[in-house]
Amino acid sequence: MNKNAKVVSLAAIAAIILVIAILVGRDLLLRRQKCFDCGDGQRCSIDVRDFTTKYSAYSLELEASVADKAKISTKLNPVQLQQLSEAMQSARDFRHYVVAGYNSCAVSKAQYNQFGARFQALDNLAREINALAERSSLSADESAKLAALIGQYGDLAHKLGTD
């Protein structure tokens, strides 16, 4: 390798490192919390990724299972699979609404806590659905329970913003 090739290689590596550093630094700046007062006390902004991590770990695992479809489709009929998919999309959209509403003072702290409890309930249902879906075969009772859990998940996801 000649001297020019070494210089070009080092410059390319330095440019890649610089781009990575800028992207990581920008992400850290964007994720930094901004604190403000909305009349119901001091609050700090929330990143939707943090909210998702806190309240939706099993829901995300379930979403991946449904997206993959191979794991769960043998246990669900197409209508149930569609209902589950729609419920997860509805919950994902509402999760973004809750975080944006909280950050813009449109959602009070009390409402935020209520929504958090509902997302936790969704997560618990997703945990049960995942546990059943991981089994290689289901009895008739387990299949009925899985269908009932999916119905509950769908109902809760569609009722997230009510009350």
Burial class (CB in 10 A: 0-12, 13-18, 19+), 29: exposed
Where residue 38 falls among pLDDT bands split at 50, 70, 90? confident
Q: What pLDDT shows up at residue 55?
A: 62
Residue predicted with more confidence, 10 or 134: 10
Q: What pLDDT shows up at residue 157?
A: 85
Question: What are 103-148's pLDDT values in tens digits?
Answer: 888 889 888 888 888 888 888 888 888 888 777 787 889 888 888 8
**Number of CB atoms found within 10 A of residue 108's CB:** 16
* Region of poorest pLDDT, from 22-26, 56-60, 80-84, 123-127: 56-60
Rounded to an integer, what distance in angstroms lies between the CA atom of residue 3 and that of residue 38?
61
Q: What pLDDT shows up at residue 59?
A: 65
What letters, b where the CB count within 10 A reaches 16 and e where it falls short, cover 123-152? Answer: bebbebbbebbeeeeeeeeeeeebbebbeb
**Number of CB atoms found within 10 A of residue 64's CB:** 11
Question: What are 61-99's pLDDT values in tens digits?
Answer: 666 666 665 556 556 677 777 887 888 888 888 888 888
pTM exceeds cut of 0.85: no
Which of the given ranges, 19-28, 43-52, 57-66, 113-122, has the highest pLDDT on average?
A: 113-122
CA angle 102, 105, 111 (to 5 degrees): 55
